[in-house]
């Protein structure tokens, strides 16, 4: 791939910052933009940094000017506790950002636009048991996401399909399944389950106790950040322009996830269950058939190794505090 002029939106966040750093190391010009910066990744990981609100169209026009590729990861989002509480703000903010970025890409003749969609687009009726079948891309319809965040992501997928049809905008869409790893949000209410559990275990006494949201029997699959970034870049470099799952097809219960982290910590910890806490769908797993066939991609870092890296990083952050 020749060196490109690349924009990464949402580069102050977890996936966006990791992606920008990788694109920089490949020798590209990387412009990053966000409305705030978490500061977990050591700077600089970019060629140019802009702090702007992408809910304003003029700002989207500015950041996409003289750019070849756009990776749009900007979003108002968080873990299950956040997206089950906040609906209107998530939908309003994200629809504005995604619409304005797409429109500005057309206006500024951007070569290709990547959109970070989510496994949250998949219908509730296919995720009602822990022993869930892996979700194929075609399972998205008939639509019935279980939260507003999922509806917003699915709407944007269809909107970009229309932009491709009407304006010839070249698009790539990844449906991320529970991406986790170090240098991401681990406190403040927007953290996702691996980071939340790592933080609980790291802060627990020894012996101690942690709280599990739900009964612990709900299931998920988790993809480590390095695998996610590799798959994202491979998708952007490919000719495949339909939505693709990027995730893992190893299904684990939340109980099993917590047990792995507890073992990594070396502590003696018991689990207490909060059945009134948000827990999302009962089960969710990724079918990787299409991504393996079209990109030759599959995850390489197993859950135990990924959680070890994540736990040790979060532990180091807590010790710094």
Residues labelled catalytic = 149
Nearest alpha carbon to residue 75 among 149, 144, 160: 149
CB distance 281 to 124 below 8 Å: yes
Which tokens sit at 220? Answer: 């998920």
The three-class DSSP label of residue 83 is helix
CB distance 51 to 39 below 8 Å: no
Nearest alpha carbon to residue 77 among 184, 227, 158: 184
283 φ, ψ to 5°? -155, 145
Q: Looking at residue 282, what DSSP letter applies?
A: S
Residues 5, 30: Cα–Cα separation, whole Å: 6
- For residue 115, give the H/E element and its range: strand 112-118
Cis-peptide, bond into residue 193, ω within 30° of zero: no
CB distance 127 to 178 below 8 Å: no
């Amino acid at each position: 791939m020749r060196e490109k002029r690349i924009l990464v939106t949402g580069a102050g966040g977890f996936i966006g910052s990791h992606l920008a750093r990788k694109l920089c190391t490949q020798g590209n010009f990387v412009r990053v933009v966000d409305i705030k910066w978490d500061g977990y990744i050591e700077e600089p990981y970019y060629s140019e940094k802009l702090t702007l609100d992408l809910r304003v169209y003029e700002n989207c026009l500015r950041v996409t000017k003289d750019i070849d590729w756009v990776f749009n990861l900007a979003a108002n989002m968080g873990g299950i506790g956040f997206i089950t509480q906040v609906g209107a703000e998530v939908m309003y903010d994200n629809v504005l950002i995604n619409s304005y970025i797409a429109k500005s890409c057309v206006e500024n003749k951007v070569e290709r636009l990547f959109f970070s969609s989510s496994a949250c687009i998949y219908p509730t009726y296919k995720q009602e048991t822990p022993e869930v079948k892996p979700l194929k891309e075609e399972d998205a319809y008939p639509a019935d996401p279980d939260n507003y965040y999922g509806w917003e992501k699915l709407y944007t997928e269809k909107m970009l399909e229309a932009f491709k049809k009407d304006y010839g905008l070249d698009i790539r869409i990844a449906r991320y399944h529970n991406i986790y790893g170090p240098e991401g949000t681990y406190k403040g209410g927007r953290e996702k389950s691996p980071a939340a559990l790592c933080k609980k275990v790291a802060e627990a006494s020894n012996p101690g106790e942690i709280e599990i949201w739900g009964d612990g029997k709900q299931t998920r699959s988790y993809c480590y950040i390095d695998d996610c970034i590799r798959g994202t870049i491979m998708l952007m470099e490919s000719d495949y322009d339909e939505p693709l799952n990027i995730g893992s097809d190893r299904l684990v219960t939340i109980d099993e996830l917590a047990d792995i982290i507890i073992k990594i910590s070396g502590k003696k910890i018991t689990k207490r269950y909060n059945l009134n806490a948000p827990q999302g769908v009962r089960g969710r797993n990724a079918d990787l058939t299409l991504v393996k066939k079209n990109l030759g991609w599959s995850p390489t870092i197993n859950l135990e190794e990924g959680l070890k890296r994540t736990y040790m990083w979060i532990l180091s952050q807590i010790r710094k505090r």
